[in-house]
């Protein structure tokens, strides 16, 4: 009993040490810190741009079109770009160690298992606040932009907005874990970011794809499925849409860990 | 203590390490020698659990590296000195390593001081010279005050002052009872630093013994009949190998005996001198069959 407690205590201590080390690594290079700030800044900027564009469209729209207007649509349009930055943040947490070669020292210091766990923890710890800030800022700026021109908007407490504000950051954080997995698999920043960008932007081609493929990448693709689940009138059951992303993230992280565990550093 | 048993690593077609069995004991500096591509780095990476052995085992103080609870407190390693993030300061590099093994923060300042990098500690490690990077790597290895040290070519890039500093440092660490394994290409340096040598070539163990056994007394003979006389000496139980033009390096027979044999055979000698083989020569002789990337002769 006592011994088991002690074991658990040192286990916790070791996990905490590995996580603190990840934090020092994260905070002591510019790329990760700048990218975090950029993700939030870009969110605000895009929200203002899309909010202004929506204001113009709304003023010129017919009465019928105005009825179909959903203010969440312009408010969240920027997420398509911001997701790339947040996923890039996750990728960088792994890939910056490959670029510099510190991966060997890090594995030697804490072992493969604890290193991946600490990196996953660090990814959540950095991506979650960034995602909350990004999505809330996006919402606030776009709603304020539209409201100032008399375009109808939603309050944060409105159910249609609330689900995005609460679950949206989790979706983005999940994409950061996808980025982390790709960083571990690709073992380099450029490769990881290219793959993650291709993966996340593929749904853009949905409209020009043949029918069955349009469904796969336009509806069931992990990031599309999750984003669609957040809309006021989802075309997938919400839990299914979010579940697809959660499942995809878990499988990818599992694969990345298994590869990392078995191969030479 | 580091124990390797049948350690083997295959990279595709390349047998980088081939059935290595040897022990590195505490209280001594063990030099790890071998030509380029012999498998020294690969062996050290396997000790640290970075490369998975194809077969065989390696333990550090009786345990596999991956089972060490806080490895930096047990094993300090310098593999590639320049494997640091160029924009991260030396101090932060050491800080994250210290935190990862719950080492006290003051160890960072202590090892920086020990390697003489205190004044440069706030600079990005990417601005360091090769010698400064080596010092930072050594600081990282010493962080956890470990009883076992593995250093892959630590004198690479150091100035003469730095080489002397490493020598004193390693000898001091071994004198404290630590296990020190250090690879190098500089045989002359190993002659001054190591107590024991492990020599490998093409991944295989070639020799393992105390330093003294590598340098033996011999006799230098210069004669116009060096081919025939060499054969005669071998028949008489000596070992010979060719030196420069017309020279023979004879071991296993004293100079007077060589002279007597020459007189008995009527061989003209131009020169007959006792000579101690250097570690350099011993190394060349040992590894001449296993040099992979030697210059064309
Ligand atoms: N990841 C790898 N993939 C393929 N071959 C490898 C790999 N790592 C090492 N090798 C090969 O294994 C052999 C041993 O290499 P290693 O780096 O261990 O030699 P070394 O003794 O450290 O050489 P040096 O003195 O030049 O540092 C070489 O032939 C090398 O090409
Ligand atoms: Mg090497």
Collect all residues of chain B within an 8 Å Cβ-Cβ radius of residue A28.
85, 88-89, 92, 95-96
- Residue B293 is predicted with a pLDDT of 62
For the Cβ of B50 lying below 6 angstroms from any atom of ligand 1, the answer is: no
Task: Calculate mean pLDDT across residues B176-198.
Answer: 90
Q: What is the DSSP string of chain B?
A: -EEEEEEEEEETTEEEEEEEEEEE-TTEEEEEE--TTSSHHHHHHHHTTSSPPSEEEEEETTB-GGG-SSGGGTEEEES-TT-S-TTSBHHHHHHHHHHHTT--THHHHHHHHHHT-GGGTTSBGGG--HHHHHHHHHHHHHTT--SEEEEESTTTT--HHHHHHHHHHHHHHHHTT-EEEEEES-HHHHHHH-SEEEEEETTEEEEEEEGGGGS-EEEEEE-TTHHHHHHHHHHTT-EEEE-STTEEEEESS-HHHHHHHHHHHT---SEEEEEEPPHHHHHHHHHTTS-SSPPP-
Total Cβ atoms within 10 A of residue A70:
15
With an 8 Å Cβ cutoff, is A106 touching chain B?
A: yes
Residue A2: predicted pLDDT = 52
- Identify the weakest region by mean pLDDT among A254-258, B31-35, B242-246: B242-246
Which residue lies with its CA nearest to atom 6 of ligand 1?
Answer: B11
Q: What confidence category does residue B297 fall into, taking pLDDT thresholds of 50, 70 and 90?
A: very low
- Over residues A214-225, mean pLDDT: 87
A21 → closest Cβ in B66, B75, B96:
B96
Closest atom of ligand 1 to B40 CA is 21
Phi (first) and psi of residue B245, to 5 degrees: -50, 120
Tell me what the mean pLDDT of segment A221-234 comes to: 88
* pLDDT above 70: residue A7: no
Cα-to-chain-centroid distance, residue B262: 39
Residues within 8 A of A (CB atoms), B 101-160 only = 101-102, 140
More confident of the two residues A219 and A143: A143
Identify the band that residue B158 occupies on the pLDDT scale cut at 50, 70 and 90.
Answer: confident
Residue nearest to atom 16 of ligand 1 (CA): B39
Separation of CA B162 and ligand 1 centre (Å): 27
Going by their DSSP bridges, the two strands B148-152 and B217-222 should be labelled as unpaired
Sign, Cα dihedral of A75, A81, A87, A88: negative
Picking from A18, A24, A265, the nearest residue to B50 by CB comes out as A265
Highest averaged pLDDT of the listed ranges A142-151, A250-259, B247-256:
A250-259
Asked if A175 contacts A200 with a C-beta cutoff of 8 angstroms, the reply is yes
> How many angstroms away from the CA of A111 is the closest CA of chain B?
7
Contact flag B50-A10 (C-beta cutoff 8 Å): no
Q: Which residues pair with B89 in a beta bridge?
A: B124
Q: Which of A25, A106, A108 sits opposite B77 (nearest CB)?
A: A108
Alpha-carbon gap, residue A253 to A53, rounded angstroms: 38
Residue with tokens 């001449």: B288
Task: For chain A, state the CA radius of gyration.
Answer: 20
- State how far the Cα of B195 lies from the Cα of B268, in Å rounded to an integer: 41
* Rounded average pLDDT over B263-272: 92
Contact B88 A109 (CB under 8 A): no
Mean pLDDT of chain A: 92
The phi, psi pair for A77, rounded to 5°, reads -60, -35
Contact A102 B85 (CB under 8 A): yes
Residues B71-99 have a mean pLDDT of 95
Query: What six digits make up the tokens of A119?
Result: 């990196």
**Confidence check: pLDDT of A165 > 90:** yes
- pLDDT for the residue numbered B167: 93
A21 touches chain B (CB under 8 A): yes
What's the pLDDT band for A3 if we cut at 50, 70, 90?
Answer: low
Fold of B2-213: Rossmann fold (3.40.50)
* Residue B57 to residues A27, A156, A219, B4, B65, Cα–Cα distance (Å): 38, 61, 51, 6, 10
Measured from the CB, is residue B34 less than 6 Å from ligand 1?
Answer: yes
Domain segments of chain A as ranges: 14-262
CATH fold of B217-276 reads: Alpha-Beta Plaits (3.30.70)
Name B148's bridge partners.
B75, B179
- Give how far the C-alpha of residue A10 lies from the chain's centroid of Cα atoms, to the nearest Å: 32
Any A CB within 8 A of B80 CB: yes
User: What tens digit of pLDDT does each residue of B96-109 get?
Assistant: 999 999 999 999 99
CB A253 within 8 A of CB A90: no
Closest Cα to residue A109, out of A126, A121, A97? A97
% pLDDT > 70, chain B = 97
What residues of chain B, 179 to 238, have a C-beta less than 8 Å from chain A?
none
Is B99 in Cβ contact with A17 (below 8 Å)?
yes
Token pair, residue A47, equals: 């929200």
Would the CB atoms of B70 and A14 count as touching at under 8 Å? yes
B100, B104, B143: best to mutate for the A interface, most A CBs within 10 A: B100
Q: Would you call B17 an interface residue with chain A, using a CB distance cutoff of 8 Å? A: no
Taking alpha carbons only, the member of B14, B17, B88, B16 closest to residue B6 is B17
pLDDT above 90: percentage of residues in chain A:
74
Q: Closest by alpha carbon to B195, among B276, B76, B288, B279?
A: B279
> What separation in Å is there between the alpha carbon of B16 and the centre of ligand 1?
6
Nearest CA in chain B to A106: B97
Query: Which residue ranges make up each domain of chain B?
Result: 2-213, 217-276
Is the per-residue pLDDT at B285 higher than 80?
no
Q: Do B96 and A25 touch (CB under 8 A)?
A: yes
pLDDT, greater one: B280 or A265: A265
Do A264 and B50 meet the contact criterion of CB atoms below 8 Å apart? Answer: yes
Tens of pLDDT, residues B211-266 = 877 777 788 999 998 889 999 999 998 888 887 888 888 888 889 999 999 999 99
Q: Is the CB of residue B286 less than 8 Å from the CB of residue B215? A: no
Taking CA atoms only, the protein residue closest to ligand 1 atom 13 is: B16
Mapped onto helix, strand or coil, the DSSP state of residue A216 is helix
Phi, psi of B24 (to 5 degrees): -105, 115
DSSP code string of A69-92: --THHHHHTTHHHHHHHHHHHHHH
* A116 near B CB under 8 A: no
pLDDT above 50: residue A1: no
Nearest CA in chain A to B141: A105
pLDDT digits (tens, 9 = 90+) for B119-152: 999 999 999 999 999 999 999 999 999 999 999 9
| Region A20-44 average pLDDT | 95
Separation of alpha carbons A134 and A216, rounded Å: 28
* B45 in contact with A, Cβ within 8 Å: yes
What average pLDDT does the structure give for chain B?
A: 91
Both tokens assigned to B234: 């071998």
Q: 0.80 exceeded by the pTM?
A: yes
What's the whole-number mean pLDDT along residues B174-203?
A: 91
Q: For the CA atoms of B86, B88, B94, B97, what is the dihedral angle to 10 degrees?
A: -90
Cβ contact, residue pair B101, A17, below 8 Å: yes
Rounded to an integer, what distance in angstroms lies between the CA atom of residue A20 and that of residue B36? 39
Instruction: Provide the pLDDT for residue B210.
Output: 87
- For strands B179-184 and B148-152, give the pairing: parallel
Q: What is the ipTM of this complex?
A: 0.90
Cβ-Cβ contacts under 8 Å between A and B: the total is: 91
Torsion B99-B105-B106-B110 (CA) sign? positive
At residue A190, does pLDDT exceed 80?
A: yes
């Amino acid at each position: 009993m006592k011994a088991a407690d002690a074991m658990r205590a040192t286990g916790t201590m070791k996990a905490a040490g590995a996580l603190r080390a990840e934090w020092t690594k994260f905070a002591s290079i510019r790329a990760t810190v700048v990218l975090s700030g950029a993700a939030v800044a870009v969110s605000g900027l895009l929200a203002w741009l899309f909010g202004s564009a929506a204001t113009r469209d709304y003023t010129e729209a017919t009465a019928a079109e105005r009825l179909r207007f959903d203010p969440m649509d312009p408010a969240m349009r920027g997420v398509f770009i911001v997701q790339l930055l947040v996923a890039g943040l996750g990728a960088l947490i792994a890939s910056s160690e490959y670029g510099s070669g510190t991966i060997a020292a890090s594995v030697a210091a804490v072992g493969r298992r604890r290193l991946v766990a600490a990196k996953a923890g660090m990814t959540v710890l950095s991506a979650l606040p960034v995602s909350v800030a990004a999505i809330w800022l996006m919402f606030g700026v776009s709603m304020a932009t539209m409201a100032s021109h008399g375009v109808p908007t939603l309050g944060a407490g409105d159910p249609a907005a609330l689900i995005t504000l609460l679950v949206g950051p989790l979706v983005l954080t999940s994409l950061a874990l996808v980025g982390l997995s790709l960083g571990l698999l690709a073992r380099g920043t450029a490769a990881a970011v290219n793959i993650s960008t291709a993966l996340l932007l593929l749904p853009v081609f949905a409209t020009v794809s043949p029918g069955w493929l349009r469904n796969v990448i336009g509806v069931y693709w992990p990031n599309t499925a999750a984003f669609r689940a957040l809309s006021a009138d989802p075309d997938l059951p919400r839990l299914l849409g979010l579940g697809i992303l959660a499942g995809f993230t878990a499988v990818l992280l599992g694969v990345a860990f298994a590869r990392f565990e078995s191969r030479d550093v | 203590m580091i124990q390797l048993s049948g350690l083997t690593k295959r990279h595709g077609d390349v047998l980088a390490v081939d059935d290595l069995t040897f022990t590195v004991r505490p209280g001594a500096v063990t030099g790890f020698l071998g030509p380029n591509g012999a498998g020294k780095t690969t062996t050290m990476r396997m000790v640290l659990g970075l490369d998975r052995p194809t077969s065989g085992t390696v333990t550090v103080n009786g345990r596999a590296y991956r089972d060490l609870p806080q490895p930096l407190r047990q094993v300090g390693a310098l593999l590639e000195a320049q494997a640091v993030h160029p924009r991260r300061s030396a101090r932060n590099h050491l800080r994250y390593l210290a935190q990862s093994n719950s080492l006290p923060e003051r160890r960072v300042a202590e090892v920086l001081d020990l390697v003489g990098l205190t004044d440069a500690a706030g600079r990005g490690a990417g601005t360091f010279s090769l010698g400064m990077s080596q010092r930072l790597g050594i600081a990282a290895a010493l962080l956890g005050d470990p009883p076992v040290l593995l250093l892959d070519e630590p004198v690479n890039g150091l100035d003469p002052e730095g080489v002397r500093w490493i020598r004193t440092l390693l000898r001091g660490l071994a004198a404290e009872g630590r296990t020190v394994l250090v690879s190098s290409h500089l045989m002359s340096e190993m002659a001054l630093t190591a107590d024991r040598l492990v020599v490998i070539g093409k991944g295989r163990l070639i020799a393992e013994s105390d330093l003294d056994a590598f340098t033996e007394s011999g006799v230098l003979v210069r004669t116009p009949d060096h081919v025939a006389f060499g054969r005669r000496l071998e028949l008489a139980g000596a070992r010979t190998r060719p030196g420069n033009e017309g020279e023979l390096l004879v071991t296993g027979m004293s100079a007077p005996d060589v002279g007597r044999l020459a007189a008995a055979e009527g061989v003209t000698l131009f020169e007959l001198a006792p000579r101690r083989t250097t570690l350099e020569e011993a190394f060349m002789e040992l590894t001449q069959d296993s040099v992979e990337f030697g210059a064309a002769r």
